């Protein structure tokens, strides 16, 4: 249910890591699911060889030749990176290729280059050992930087640094993953984008890394390559060694080291189930998303980046129920310009056409920080200066985004939605800013959809409880259960210690959802749900029964949700919802929902939903 932390921090210097070995007992590790699929195989530990070049003293006369060698090494590396950038842009799209521009910037870092030359002259040692020294100093300093942007640059610097060292030492040009001799699950402290991009697709069954979040470039690449992956496992490199058998479950972010026979059998079964669902997906994609009695239900996908549109379409979703635009603002030093945002929103709107995309305005805060904005850390970030509150206080940022969204609305079926609305006043204030932007655009003769539907995310209990009022002014509702649950149950959604209290089936949550849907329908507006709950297979029937019009979930969950929708009548679902509304605890609801799923859609329920 929880989304893992989004900030990449790395305390370990990947150039100097020490690995040690523990027992051969089964061990289960939990990380961040980066790309779906289940694989079982042997481990290939990658990238732990320490590139610590031997030290050699040199004579003063050798200095110019060493500097020359350094410059040649840099030039060679530059050529390689440009080649990779071109290949990746051609094969995977320019968005992926652009990652390597950051690598070129490292190469052109004058301070780094000058420091190497100055030390070389002073210490009179071979250039590779001097370069490694400077590089390690950079990595250590950046790993401890307060600025998240700087910390995130560690993997770029490491990647380029290793490449330069290899060239200086006359080493191989490849990353070592293109020519794995047999199929393996690659385990690494981190995989650089170039390692991932150059992977031998047929041999790399999956990969697992110590660091990384779901928005890390490595995770994004894994999804594009369709290689199952789990990142952010923290210590996987400490507990496995070459040849160990592991199970990697990219859907749930789980890696099981040295699994018992029972676990292997269980996962083999689950793998088959997943693969047969994948196969069925092809047929399901063409079938309408409607209940057994023919009532239409919209199944949409959630996206974070424009490139996720492909996955939405390939999983048979009919629209985008939540576009989390803040991801566009992450991993960069500056704020995206109006033009950049416009191009991104326009590209999503045109690719998803004729379906709609609900663009959510900047939802900064909580667990999503933007280093370039210098927003002070707060005691209660989830209840603080975030989302629409922040945007209303920073009209410069808000208006730039609104202009880009409105301009893009001329090119597709685009809807606008505000996050974290707490009451009708806030909704009106945000609308007033939209009106100002519309007036400006009109004056400038820039086209946009004047009737763009504007909806409210209902994720704060006060908005849920006053949704009767909001429904009179909003064009639609989308229930954000990830936050609604944390606020209504007072359970921090990212705190592991109280995760057991985070219950989507809690009667308080179900009653709030019912209230929102009923109030929306009274005013004839559509009510969707875009939190993780929409993709929880055991809860789909309850939500259907409560009258939900639209499910928006991560694209990979869409086929299963569709299968469940197509397996029940609205009346059956209504009956289930009525029964659970009469229950006293979340556990009771959960057990009942799982049993019903097993009874009505046994092949989807499988053993899995039992946890």
Q: Does 553 bind ligand PEP (CB under 6 A)?
A: no
Query: Bridge partners of 609?
Result: none
Q: Which residue has the tokens 């490139």?
A: 307
Is position 482 an interface residue for ligand PEP (rule: CB under 6 A)?
A: yes
Shortest reach from residue 485's CB to ligand PEP, in Å: 8
Catalytic residue chosen out of the listed positions 44, 96, 506, 530: 530
User: Contact between 301 and ligand PEP (CB under 6 A)?
Assistant: no
Q: Which among 115, 49, 106, 114 has a CA at the least distance from the CA of 81?
A: 106
Which residues does residue 426 pair with via DSSP β-bridges, in sequence order?
A: none
Binding mask 85-124 for Mg ion (x = CB under 5 A): ----------------------------------------
Q: Which two tokens stand for residue 285?
A: 């994609």
Contact pick of 249, 270, 483, 550 for ligand PEP (by CB under 6 A)? 483
Q: How far is the CB of 461 from ligand PEP (least distance, A)?
A: 13
Q: Restricting to residues 320-379, name those near ligand PEP by CB under 6 A.
A: 322, 324, 363
Q: Which of residues 417-476 bind ligand PEP (CB under 6 A)?
A: 459
Contact 544, 596 (CB under 8 A): no
Measured from each CB, the residue nearest to Mg ion is 483
> Which residue out of 217, 315, 391, 506 is catalytically annotated?
217
Backbone angles phi and psi of 526, in degrees to 5: -80, 145
CB of residue 360 to Mg ion, shortest distance in Å: 9
Residue that the structure tokens 């070129």 belong to? 104
Q: Which does 306 bind (CB under 5 to 8 A by kind): ligand PEP, Mg ion, none?
A: none
Residue 483 touching Mg ion (CB under 5 A): yes
**Helix (H/G/I), strand (E/B), else coil: 525:** coil
* Catalytic residue check, 252: no
* Residue 163 interacts with which of Mg ion, ligand PEP, none, CB < 5 to 8 Å by class: none
480 scored as a contact of Mg ion (CB under 5 A): yes
CA distance 337 to 405: 12
Q: Which is nearer to ligand PEP, 260 or 462 (CB)?
A: 462
In angstroms, rounded to a whole number, what is the distance separating the alpha carbons of residues 18 and 189?
11
Minimum Å gap between C-beta 530 and ligand PEP is 5
Min. distance of Cβ 229 from ligand PEP in angstroms?
A: 21
Query: What DSSP string describes 44-79?
Result: EE-S-S---PPP-B--GGGHHHHHHHHHHHHHHHHH
Could you tell which of ligand PEP, Mg ion, none binds residue 481, using a CB distance below 5 to 8 A set by kind?
A: ligand PEP
DSSP classification of residue 365: B
Tell me how far apart the alpha carbons of residues 364 and 388 are, in angstroms, rounded to a whole number. Answer: 8
Q: Is 536 among the residues that bind Mg ion (CB under 5 A)?
A: no
**Integer Cα distance of 534 and 556 in angstroms:** 12
Q: From residue 12, how far is each of 7, 146, 189, 374, 560 by CA, in Å? A: 15, 15, 9, 25, 39
- Verify whether residue 530 is a known catalytic residue: yes
- Which residue, 303 or 601, has its beta carbon nearer to Mg ion? 303
At 457, list the tokens. 């995310």
139 binds ligand PEP (CB under 6 A): no
Residues 6 or more apart whose CB falls under 8 angstroms from that of 142 comprise: 150, 151, 153, 154, 157
Contact 23, 169 (CB under 8 A): no
Integer Cα distance of 219 and 191 in angstroms? 10
CB of 548 to ligand PEP, least distance (A): 14
Q: Out of 10, 77, 126, 481, name the contact with ligand PEP by CB under 6 A.
A: 481
Per-position x/- string for 412-431, each x denoting binding to Mg ion as judged by CB under 5 A, each - no binding: --------------------
Yes or no: say if 84 and 100 are a contact pair by the CB < 8 Å rule: yes
Q: Which of these ranges, 49-57, 273-281, 405-413, 478-486, lies near ligand PEP under the rule CB under 6 A?
A: 478-486
Provide the annotated active-site residues. Answer: 217, 530
Residues in contact with Mg ion by CB under 5 A are: 459, 480, 483
Residues in contact with ligand PEP by CB under 6 A are: 322, 324, 363, 459, 480-483, 530-531
């Amino acid at each position: 249910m929880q989304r893992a932390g989004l900030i990449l921090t790395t305390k370990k210097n990947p150039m100097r890591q020490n690995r040690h070995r523990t027992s051969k007992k089964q061990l289960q590790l939990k990380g961040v699911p980066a790309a779906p699929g289940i694989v079982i195989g042997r481990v290939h530990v990658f990238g732990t060889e320490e590139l610590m070049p031997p030290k050699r003293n040199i004579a003063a006369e050798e200095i110019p030749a060493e500097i020359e060698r350094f410059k040649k090494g840099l030039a060679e590396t530059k050529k390689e990176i440009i080649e990779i950038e071109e290949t990746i842009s051609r094969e995977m799209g320019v968005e992926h290729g652009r990652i390597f521009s950051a690598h070129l910037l490292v190469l052109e870092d004058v301070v780094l280059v000058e420091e190497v030359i100055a030390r070389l002259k002073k210490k009179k040692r071979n250039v590779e050992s001097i370069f490694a020294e400077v590089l390690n100093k950079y990595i250590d300093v950046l790993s401890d930087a307060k600025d998240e942007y700087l910390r995130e640059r560690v993997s770029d610097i490491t990647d380029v640094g290793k490449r330069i060292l290899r060239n200086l030492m006359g080493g191989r040009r490849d990353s070592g993953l293109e020519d794995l001799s047999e199929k393996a699950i690659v385990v690494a402290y981190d995989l650089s984008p170039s390692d991932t991009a150059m992977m031998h697709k047929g041999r790399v069954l999956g990969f697992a890394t110590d660091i990384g979040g779901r928005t890390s470039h490595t995770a994004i690449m894994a999804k594009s390559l369709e290689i199952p992956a789990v990142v952010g496992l923290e210590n996987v490199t400490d507990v496995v060694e070459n040849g160990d058998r592991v199970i990697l479950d990219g859907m749930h972010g789980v890696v099981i080291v040295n699994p018992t026979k029972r676990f292997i059998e269980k996962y083999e079964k689950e793998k088959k189930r997943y693969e047969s669902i994948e196969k069925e997906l092809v047929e399901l994609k063409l079938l309408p998303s409607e209940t057994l009695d023919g009532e239409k239900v919209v199944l949409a996908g959630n996206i974070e980046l424009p490139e996720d549109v492909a996955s939405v379409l390939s999983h048979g979703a009919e629209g985008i129920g939540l576009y989390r635009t803040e991801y566009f603002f992450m991993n960069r030093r500056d704020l995206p310009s109006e033009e950049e945002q416009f191009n991104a929103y326009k590209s999503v709107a045109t690719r998803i056409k004729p379906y709609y995309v609900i663009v959510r305005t900047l939802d900064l805060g909580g667990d999503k920080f933007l280093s370039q904005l210098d927003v002070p850390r707060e005691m209660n970030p989830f209840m603080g200066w975030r989302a629409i509150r922040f945007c209303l206080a920073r009209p410069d940022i808000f208006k730039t985004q609104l202009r880009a969204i409105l301009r893009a609305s001329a090119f597709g079926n685009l809807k606008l939605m505000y996050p974290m609305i707490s009451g009708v006043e806030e909704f009106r204030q945000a609308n007033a800013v939209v009106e100002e932007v519309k007036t400006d655009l009109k004056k400038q003769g820039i086209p946009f959809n004047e009737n763009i539907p504007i909806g409210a995310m209902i994720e704060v209990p006060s908005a849920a409880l006053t949704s009767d009022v909001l429904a009179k002014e909003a064009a639609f509702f989308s229930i954000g259960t990830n936050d609604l649950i944390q606020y209504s149950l007072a359970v921090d959604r990212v705190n592991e210690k109280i995760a057991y209290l985070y219950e989507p089936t809690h009667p308080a949550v179900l009653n709030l959802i019912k209230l929102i849907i009923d109030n929306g329908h009274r005013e004839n507006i559509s009510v969707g749900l875009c939190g993780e709950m929409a993709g929880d297979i055991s809860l789909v029937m309850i939500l259907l029964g409560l009258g939900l019009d639209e499910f928006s979930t991560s694209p990979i969950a869409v086929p299963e949700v569709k299968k469940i929708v197509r397996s029940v009548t609205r009346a059956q679902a209504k009956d289930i919802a009525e029964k659970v509304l009469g229950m006293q605890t979340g556990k009771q609801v959960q057990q009942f929902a799982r049993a019903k799923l097993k009874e009505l859609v046994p092949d989807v329920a499988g053993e899995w939903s039992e946890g």
